[in-house]
Amino acid sequence: MNPYIAYCGLDCEVCQARIATVNHDDALRQTVAKEWSELNGVTITPEMIHCEGCRMDGVKTVYCDSLCPIRQCALGKCMETCGACDAMETCPKVGAILQNNAEALGNLKGTNK
């Protein structure tokens, strides 16, 4: 599986935080921090926007690194992604992502080209 596919099936290659990190783009970091702060109702600063990908070695945002329940569950079960888990279809942790993102589900099922 593409190593940039996150445990939940989202594509880290198109994540604005990853793009800002690999391109050293401070303006994009500011944009992402503002957007994510508004979406999540918390303060996220541009300095927090550093991520190389959920399953990649290297830096991750605080949320992705230690707070994301999906990532923590998959790591705890030693799963490559949630796609390897028998409970994926009924899992409430990854369900919120999969219900709203057909591409993520396709990534986990291996049906996207």
Summarised one tens digit per residue, pLDDT across range 37-57 is 998 899 999 999 999 999 999
Is 90 a member of any domain? yes
Distance set, CA 88 to CA 43, 49, 105 (Å): 31, 29, 10
Number of structural domains the chain divides into: 1
Name the residue among 58, 56, 41, 52 with its Cα closest to residue 7: 56
Could you give the CA distance from residue 40 to residue 59 in angstroms, rounded to a whole number? 21
Could you give the CA distance from residue 86 to residue 21 in angstroms, rounded to a whole number? 34
Q: What are phi and psi of 66, to 5 degrees?
A: -130, -10
Could you give the CA distance from residue 50 to residue 86 in angstroms, rounded to a whole number? 32
Domain with 43, as residue range(s), is 12-109
Rounded to two decimals, what is the model's pTM? Answer: 0.87
pLDDT, residue 113, reads: 65
Could you give the CA distance from residue 39 to residue 63 in angstroms, rounded to a whole number? 14
Q: Which residue stretches of the chain have pLDDT < 70?
A: 113
pLDDT, residue 1, reads: 83
Name the DSSP class of 39: H
Is 1 a member of any domain? no
User: Which amino acid belongs to residue 12?
Assistant: C
Is 69 a member of any domain? yes
Is 29 a member of any domain? yes
